[in-house]
Amino acid sequence: MAILSICLVFLLYFGYAQEVGEVEWKKVIVKEWGVGGFLNTNGGGLSFQQGRTPTYYNKHFWEIDLWYNAHHKTVRARNPYYSDATGYSYGKLCDLMFLRGGYGFQRTLHQKPYWGGVRIRYTISGGLSLGFSMPVYLYIVNYSTTGSVIGKYTAKYEPEKFGIDDILGRSSYFQGIGETKLHPGFYCKTGVNFDFSKDEYTMHAIEIGVSIDMVFPFVQQMAYNKAKPFHLCAYIAYYFGKRKGNYE
């Protein structure tokens, strides 16, 4: 009986010490930041996140995203009648990019075992989105009064004015930058984050999810298509970064 009592006290002490040790260890990591790149069904972009982990299972963060949005009906074309013709996106009226800034939350669904593995976290974020629409300029065939080709010039794409035979290719991407229009709005993003880092002080993670942007006024990217009220896409992202403890 005495031996059983001693064993019971030892087990209780060991269990308490282990629990305290785990709690203290779980509170070591309190800061986390990462940069990443992602591809989505409409294009791709870059991302930066910085956050805190008030508990071992929760993370609160701020993020900034910059991504390029391509219309799903975009088709690459090339004028076959001219040797100096270059490729362009037929019917494309403008390039569209989004600059996002918002707040996010992550919750751990599956913790990484002590020997390694993958931590799985659910993530959701949202905030302000600012769209930049820049008009597309093209090289247009220049005809003489007699109908012969005498060169080329650049002009903003106007579908009612220029047909396929008139277009020689895309002009400089920066030519229409001075005519960029701003479209303020908001965004929301949600997904699942898979952290496969080898230690607690580095971050390597893959994230899969969906996002939606809505900006005003609505942007018409393609000729003969209505302006889209929102932009929905699926994405996959890779993040890498660092984690810090209480005294770092």
Per-residue model confidence as pLDDT tens digits over 209-247: 999 999 999 999 999 999 999 999 999 999 999 988 765
Give the pLDDT confidence score for residue 191 in this predicted structure.
97
Tell me the pLDDT band of 200, cut-offs 50, 70 and 90: confident
Give the pLDDT confidence score for residue 136 in this predicted structure.
96
Query: Model-level pTM greater than 0.95?
Result: no
The mean pLDDT of the chain is 86
Phi, psi of 87 (to 5 degrees): -75, 150
Helix (H, G, I), strand (E, B), or coil: what is residue 5? helix
Q: Give the pLDDT confidence of 20-44 residue by residue, as tens digits.
A: 344 444 445 688 999 999 999 999 9
**CA–CA distance from 167 to each of 76, 147, 153 (Å)?**
13, 15, 10
The answer to whether residues 120 and 110 touch, using CB atoms and an 8 Å cutoff, is: yes
Highest mean pLDDT, choosing among 111-120, 138-147, 208-217: 208-217
Give the pLDDT confidence score for residue 201 in this predicted structure.
87
- Residue 48 CB neighbours (<10 A): 16
More confident residue, 116 or 87: 87
92 pLDDT exceeds 50? yes
Nearest to 224 by CA among 140, 159, 134, 164: 159
Beta bridge partners of 4: none
Tokens of 55: 């508990």
Mean of pLDDT values over 72-92: 90
Q: Give the pLDDT confidence of 121-132 residue by residue, as tens digits.
A: 999 999 999 999
Mean of pLDDT values over 85-102: 95
17 pLDDT exceeds 60? no
Q: What is the distance of C-alpha 116 from the center of its chain?
A: 28
Report the first-to-last Cα separation within the chain, whole angstroms: 50
Q: Give the pLDDT confidence of 202-212 residue by residue, as tens digits.
A: 999 999 999 99
Beta bridge partners of 43: 40, 69
171 pLDDT exceeds 90? yes
Helix (H, G, I), strand (E, B), or coil: what is residue 115? coil
Give the pLDDT confidence score for residue 25 in this predicted structure.
41
Give the pLDDT confidence score for residue 248 in this predicted structure.
60
More confident residue, 201 or 210: 210
Placement of tokens 């913790």 in the chain: 111
> Could you give the count of Cα atoms lying within 13 Å of 101 in the half-sphere of its Cβ?
2
Tokens of 93: 């009226």
Give the pLDDT confidence score for residue 7 in this predicted structure.
42
Q: What is the C-alpha to C-alpha distance for residues 105 and 88, in angstroms, rounded to an integer?
A: 40
Q: What is the C-alpha to C-alpha distance for residues 8 and 150, in angstroms, rounded to an integer?
A: 98
Q: What is the C-alpha to C-alpha distance for residues 219 and 68, in angstroms, rounded to an integer?
A: 14
Give the pLDDT confidence score for residue 220 in this predicted structure.
96
Tokens of 92: 């494309």
